[in-house]
């Protein structure tokens, strides 16, 4: 399919990206930058991530320090007056923004103040009983007792204060949902209801609600492509994807489990505050596991049933877990790979406790490295993870072998319409 949309911009960055870069250099949180530019927080994050990818930079600090060769001349001269104007009139511009967009920007300003001045996050409210027999212990799949580890583990240190969650049940702080293409009214109602339920569940369980999210639901492939081009100037996202405060998903996937998965991706992004979140399997597996938790609470499927499905899916993966270390988050994850990742996360939670998963993301901003946060949260040296998980996996996941080939006839040529059944029996 030929790619539609804008041609590549001739400059190293687009005009929108230059504006965001100038504001990043001026300083401030993503919320403050969004207020100054009059755009969504997710759009600021999207442009910042795109700039880092284009320039092959890892951190926001590197991005702020970067200078283009041409900036000493034409571009610097062009942007200096604008930067001076913005800096000088910043209070007036902020006030004007509040007048224009009202409560939305006031809420963003309050959020920015709360982030800067918050202390330890408040204790998460208790989860309402939604399923008979539901308990925290039910959220961990049963397994054999792992071998104790002898290596030292860093002692737990206080987590960095996480962004203050919004007031429970505030309908004005729900993600904005945009429908693209011919999405039936009944589907729109179902998607809005599921989104509200997802937000309420994770706020009750983990004490966090992600602000300023946008959900773009496409009726089909063409509609979703239009959504990504309009909302983020990005390329096709496949079936579903989270990008810097923007959730893109097909209509059918939104009501069959995709919203909770993508929303947990947003929680990961929100709590980690731009820090490296570690191996791809950990983050993908966490989102899959979290989605199973939501379906358990909703009564759709118990956590034990969900993890049994994950173990069955993982049986189709023959490679070790470490092979999934560097899989890019933007590349499509096959169900089997996501299942293996979820099994690994369930195993980690068995060791670290039910709160260890969210604790990992809360510890990231205050840790030197993601491995430090990992070892504090899960009480396990990361250097021992792969060997220990391989032993656990051998006990609870059957490896499914794929056999392929060509059946040849007596004339040595391939024979069509043949079927071969293969059965395996235990030795002895």
User: Could you report the per-residue pLDDT of 112-147, keeping only the tens digit for each?
Assistant: 333 334 444 334 333 333 333 333 333 333 344 343
**DSSP code, position 240:** E
Would 155 be classed as within a structural domain? no
pLDDT of 62 above 70: yes
Would 322 be classed as within a structural domain? yes
pLDDT of 88 above 80: no
Cβ-based neighbour number of residue 417 at 10 Å: 5
Boundary of a domain, candidates 78, 102, 117: 117
User: Could you report the per-residue pLDDT of 297-312, keeping only the tens digit for each?
Assistant: 989 999 999 999 999 9
Q: Please, which residues have CB within 8 angstroms of residue 88's CB and are 6 or more apart in sequence?
A: none
Q: Are 258 and 364 contained in the same domain?
A: yes
The whole-chain average pLDDT of the chain stands at: 74
Would 284 be classed as within a structural domain? yes
Output phi, psi for 242, to 5 deg: -105, 135
d(CA 302, CA 296): 4
Sign of the four-CA dihedral 295, 300, 304, 308: negative
pLDDT of 108 above 60: no
**What is the structure's pLDDT at 106?**
32
Boundary of a domain, candidates 117, 135, 159: 117
User: Could you report the per-residue pLDDT of 195-252, keeping only the tens digit for each?
Assistant: 999 999 999 999 999 998 999 998 888 888 888 877 776 665 667 788 888 888 888 7
- CB-side exposure of 341: number of CA atoms within 13 Å? 25
**Interstrand relation of 246-250 and 214-218 (parallel, antiparallel or unpaired):** parallel
Select from 179, 250, 173 the least CA-distant residue to 213.
173
Would 402 be classed as within a structural domain? no
Output phi, psi for 176, to 5 deg: -75, 130
Q: Are 81 and 188 contained in the same domain?
A: no
d(CA 70, CA 53): 20
d(CA 102, CA 40): 14
* CA angle in degrees (0–180, nearest 5) for 104-94-74: 120
Q: Confidence class of residue 152 from pLDDT cuts 50, 70 and 90?
A: very low
The residues that bridge with 247 in the sheet, in sequence order, are 215, 242
Q: Do residues 34 and 248 touch, judged by C-beta distance below 8 A?
A: no
**What is the structure's pLDDT at 399?**
64
Q: Are 248 and 100 contained in the same domain?
A: no
Q: Are 264 and 358 contained in the same domain?
A: yes
Q: Where are the alpha helices (DSSP H) in 259-316?
A: 259-272, 280-298, 303-314
pLDDT of 315 above 70: yes
Would 417 be classed as within a structural domain? no
Boundary of a domain, candidates 117, 149, 178: 117
pLDDT of 179 above 90: yes
Q: Are 77 and 200 contained in the same domain?
A: no
Count: domains in the chain:
2
Q: Are 205 and 103 contained in the same domain?
A: no
Boundaries of domain holding 49:
15-117
**CATH code at position 180:** 1.10.390.10
Q: Are 267 and 183 contained in the same domain?
A: yes
**DSSP code, position 177:** E
Q: Do residues 111 and 211 touch, judged by C-beta distance below 8 A?
A: yes
The residues that bridge with 217 in the sheet, in sequence order, are 179, 249
Q: Are 98 and 207 contained in the same domain?
A: no
d(CA 427, CA 131): 43
d(CA 26, CA 87): 8
User: pTM of the entire structure?
Assistant: 0.57
Q: How far apart are the first and last CA of the chain?
A: 55
Q: Are 113 and 196 contained in the same domain?
A: no
- CB-side exposure of 235: number of CA atoms within 13 Å? 8
């Amino acid at each position: 399919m030929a790619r539609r949309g804008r041609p590549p911009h001739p400059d190293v960055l687009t005009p929108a990206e230059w504006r965001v870069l100038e504001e990043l250099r001026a300083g401030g949180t993503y919320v403050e930058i969004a207020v100054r530019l009059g755009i969504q927080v997710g759009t600021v994050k999207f442009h910042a991530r795109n700039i880092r990818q284009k320039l092959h930079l890892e951190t926001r600090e590197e991005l702020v320090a970067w200078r283009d060769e041409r900036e000493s001349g034409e571009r610097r001269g062009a942007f200096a007056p604008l930067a001076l104007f913005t800096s000088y009139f910043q209070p007036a511009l902020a006030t004007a923004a509040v007048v224009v967009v009202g409560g939305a920007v006031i809420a963003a300003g309050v959020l920015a103040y709360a982030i800067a001045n918050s202390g330890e996050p408040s204790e998460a409210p208790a989860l309402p009983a939604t399923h008979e027999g539901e308990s925290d212990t039910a959220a961990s799949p049963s397994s054999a007792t792992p071998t104790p580890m002898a290596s030292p583990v860093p002692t737990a240190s206080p987590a960095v204060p996480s962004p203050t969650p919004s007031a429970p049940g505030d309908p004005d702080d729900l993600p904005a949902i945009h429908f693209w293409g011919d999405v039936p009214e009944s589907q729109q109602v179902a998607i809005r209801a599921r989104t509200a339920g997802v937000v309420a569940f994770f706020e009750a369980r983990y004490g966090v609600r992600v602000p300023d999210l946008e959900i773009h639901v496409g009726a089909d492939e063409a509609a979703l492509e239009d959504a990504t081009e309009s909302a983020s100037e990005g390329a096709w996202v496949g079936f579903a994807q989270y990008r810097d405060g923007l959730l893109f998903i097909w209509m059918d996937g939104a009501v069959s489990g995709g919203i909770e998965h993508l929303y947990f991706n947003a929680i990961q992004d929100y709590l980690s505050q731009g820090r490296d979140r570690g191996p791809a399997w950990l983050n993908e597996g966490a989102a899959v596991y979290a989605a199973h938790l939501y379906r358990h609470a909703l009564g759709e499927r118990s956590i034990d049933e969900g993890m049994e499905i994950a173990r069955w899916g993982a049986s189709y993966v023959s490679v070790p877990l470490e092979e999934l270390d560097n899989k890019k988050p933007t590349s499509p994850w096959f169900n089997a790979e996501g299942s293996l990742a979820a099994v690994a996360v369930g195993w980690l939670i068995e060791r670290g406790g039910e709160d260890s998963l969210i604790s990992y993301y809360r510890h990231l901003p205050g840790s030197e490295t993601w491995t430090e946060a990992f070892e504090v949260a899960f009480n396990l040296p990361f250097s021992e993870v792969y060997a220990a998980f391989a032993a656990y996996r051998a006990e609870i996941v059957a490896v499914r072998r794929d056999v392929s080939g060509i059946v040849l006839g007596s004339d040595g040529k391939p024979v069509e319409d043949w079927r071969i059944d293969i059965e395996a029996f235990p030795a002895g």
